[in-house]
Amino acid sequence: MSEHKIIRLGHHGDGIAEGPVFAPMTLPGELVSGTVDGTALKDVRIVTPSSDRVAAPCRHFKACGGCQLQHANDDFVAQWKADVVRHALSAHDLSPDIRETITSPAQSRQRATLAVKRTKSGAMVGFHGRASDTLVEVPECQLIDPKIKASFGILKELAIIGASRKAPLAATVTVSLDGLDVSVQGGKPLDGPLRAGLAQLCDATGLTRLTWGDEVVAMRTPPRHAFGSAFVAPPAGTFLQATAHGAHALQTLVREAVGSAKRVADLFAGCGTFSLPLAERSEVHAVEGDKGMIAALDHGWRFATGLKPITHEVRDLFRRPLLPDELKRFEAVVLDPPRAGAADQVAEILKADVPVLAYVSCNPVTFARDAAQLAGAGYVLEWVQPVDQFRWSSHVELASRFVKT
């Protein structure tokens, strides 16, 4: 056993001591002891705790790998996430106004992927343990919506019907306005009896939709989500914001960033998370690489009332970014790329001199890279707003506003 002083937290939420030595569930300023194994500190014991340390609100925290930061108070976590964004930008000599982190409440995750394992006596549902393949049951999880916890019995029945004993199912459960939408990967191949059994289970339990692999095996009603005043039924397994609270925060921030622009391009538009609320006061052109998402967006717009026109196209923006002559007709652009960022699309935005850019990101590092590219071409990063939809995790999202000078 040796003692170590924790200097800071790494990007994955582990404490870091000199070496570097990584110690999970520790905080800056703490004196800890343990056994060094390579770069990891095992069997960690807190010798001198930080004043920011708190008792974890969830009894599953130490065993479950779903959360990394329940041992720190909320103010510390919010500040740390803002600092992650700040440090990523400072690496490119950028120091914009960074607002206080907006954090989603506990038990608000509207979408979660759970491991479901068939056992000799039945089945079990939970998350994998920290750095482990061990399945940890989480009946009192403080992260997910109570409606998802209420589905655990249904998920166990799915495993009993359609899982092998060799590997767990990966079941993504999404809370919609019409009930639970469940998408399962890793199950037995569909045949007649399995398809019939799954359909009966869906009907008996009131699931809105059940997807097995790539096939929708049963649907009582399309599972709808509200995007502004419109209602959208996304394709099965589609990306959605993690919490309704976080989605509303990002929509509000994008509206603020876009301002009074009359014509807006929404790039990486998904199913219309931003396009549809923006259409309440702006004409929008939505671009997305997935045709199913665009179809859902279009359907939601056509059946809404009071929205301005939304045009759309299916386009891979990594291979074919919008070009300057296409961008020049817009007064503002919304950019919400995957974790890789949007370096090629940003390069075309620079050539077009788009007046305003609302950039939403789930990766502060690639965001900072793209922000540096924009700043070097005369754009001012007016503000950055960290948004924490993944409470108690090391993940942080953000929204921002760039203005061409």
**Mind spelling out the 3-state secondary structure of the chain?**
CEEEECCEECCCCCEEECCCEEECCCCCCCEEEEEEECCEEEEEEEEECCCCECCCCCCCCCCECCCCCCCECHHHHHHHHHHHHHHHHHCCCCCCEECCCEECCCCCECEEEEEEEECCCCEEEEEEECCCCCEEECCCCCCECHHHHCCHHHHHHHHHHHCCCCCCEEEEEEEECCEEEEEEECCCCCCHHHHHHHHHHHHHHCCCEEEECCEEEEECCCCCEEECCEEECCCCCCCCCCEHHHHHHHHHHHHHHHCCCCEEEEECCCCCCCHHHHCCCCEEEEEECCHHHHHHHHHHHHCCCCCCCEEEEECCCCCCCCCHHHHCCCCEEEECCCCCCCHHHHHHHHHHCCCEEEEEECCHHHHHHHHHHHHHCCEEEEEEEEEECCCCCCCCEEEEEEEEC
Q: Catalytic residue at 271? A: no
Catalytic positions: 362
